[in-house]
Amino acid sequence: MCACFFLLSCDQENFVTITGDFKNMENVLVTLRFDNKVLKTDTVKNGKFEMLVKLPNNRLFSLSFLDTEIRTVKGIPTRNLPFINAFTGDKEVKISILADSIQGLFRFGNYKVLGSSENQIEYNNYQSLIKKDSENNQAKFNILSKKQDEALLAKNDSLYTLYTDSLRFQEQLNKTSHHKIIRDFIANHPNSHVSMYLLSKRSDLKSNLAFYQLLYNKADRKYRKSWYGLYFAKRVEQLEKLKEKYIKQLEVDAFDVNGLRFNYGKYTNSKLIVFDIWATWCIPCMEDMPAALKLAKELESKSVSYVFLSYDFNGKYWKQQIQKLGQINSYYLSNETRKFLNEALVVTTIPRYMILNNKGEILVLDAPSPSSPGLKKLIESML
């Protein structure tokens, strides 16, 4: 008799047929891995390969492709080794991989994964969102880079500095913006094995525990009791036991437009405090600003304070902009606090939204943006 307990899986298994159809690929070694174990290998012959393997239902597995031909790049021998992920379903499925070449199998390359599994279709949709996000970030980077060049040619130092700061931010955003895509995907697809998989792998679970628990609780029991759902629950259980050890108090050294220092004492009557970390040169920050200002007013009646903390480098320009925006509870961060945020809390990109209690203890380190309904729902669930 089998008893399921979190990491011990009693998943049902089914056969999965995996085939490949490649136009310009020959003698490539294909390896199927599941839970970091090699289950099967095959070699591409005449542009094709085929595998039949038994795998647990509703789980992710990977295929790697090793090019047997050794090439020399800048004098260094190298071989292609891309890999792709695929998802099993509730029953026997067939999955096909189509590509023109082994180079097309690299991440966001020119390949397709076709499968009869609903999980595979949903995983393809998730991958498409990540790919689109990367392309959008790169397009924004290219536009900013062009404007920076134009400012340099025009010898406009202030504009050049502005676009340099924006480019620096955009470079970081390119590395981390997928987190928002993943959170939105989980929120929009609560009853999904793919969402349970993404939840189970969250690297920021500790700092956003309340938010991810809220998403998890929205799912039907079928998904919460799946392998990935149980794995997520086990991680939460472990974090809850250590909760007192990892809650950090955020000491804020910042000043308002009148030079008055930030003090938590001002917010003793607040049930929660929302920190909106932003900058005037941050394009996504400014895009979310109308929603942030609207939410700040709505939260007043719920005894929740919304506080703006600026990452700006030019205090004079910051003062001009917050007056135009009509911000209340707006502060200019000191270099020491910025350093603490970067090093201790790994706040390497903005905008960043945090939720704290009135003592300054961090409850959620990386909350959803105010332009999504997720932030307001999360706050209300914590009151």
pLDDT at 51: 95
Quote the strand ranges of 79-140, DSSP E: 83-87, 93-99, 111-115
pLDDT of 308 reads: 96
Residues 87, 119 contacting (CB under 8 angstroms): yes
Domain extents in the chain: 13-116, 117-176, 182-245, 247-382
DSSP code of residue 361? B
Cα 87 from Cα 323, distance rounded (Å): 51
What global pTM score does this model have? 0.66
Q: What pLDDT, on the 0 to 100 scale, is given for residue 88? A: 94
**CATH no., domain 13-116:** 2.60.40.10
Cβ atoms < 10 Å from Cβ of 357: 17
| 29 in Cβ contact with 61 (< 8 Å) | no
Instruction: Note the pLDDT of residue 329.
Output: 93
Cβ contacts of 189 within 8 Å, gap of 6 or more: 122, 195
Fold adopted by 247-382: Glutaredoxin (3.40.30)
Answer whether 13-116 and 247-382 agree in fold.
no
The pLDDT, as a whole number, for residue 246 is 57
Q: In what order do the strands lie in the sheet with 111-115?
A: 48-56, 13-22, 93-99, 111-115
Instruction: Report the relative pairing of strands 304-310 and 272-278 from DSSP bridges.
Output: parallel
Coil vs helix vs strand at 144: helix
**CA–CA distance, 190 with 96 (Å, rounded to integer):** 27
79 φ, ψ (degrees, to nearest 5): -135, 145
Q: φ, ψ for residue 217 (rounded to 5)?
A: -70, -20
- The pLDDT of residue 284 is 83
Q: Which pLDDT score, from 0 to 100, does residue 73 have? A: 55
Closest CA to 148 of 161, 130, 135, 132: 161
Give me the pLDDT at residue 143, please: 85
| Per-residue pLDDT tens digits of the chain, which is 383 residues long | 333 333 444 568 999 999 999 988 888 999 999 987 899 999 999 999 999 999 999 999 999 998 877 666 566 666 678 889 999 998 888 999 999 888 888 877 788 999 888 999 999 999 999 888 888 878 888 888 888 888 888 888 777 777 777 777 766 666 666 778 888 899 999 999 999 999 999 877 877 788 888 899 999 999 999 999 999 999 888 877 766 655 567 889 999 999 999 999 999 999 999 999 999 888 888 888 999 999 999 999 999 999 999 988 888 889 988 999 999 999 999 988 888 887 777 777 788 999 999 999 888 888 888 988 888 988 998 88
Say which DSSP state 362 is in.
E
pLDDT of residue 87: 94
SS3 294: helix
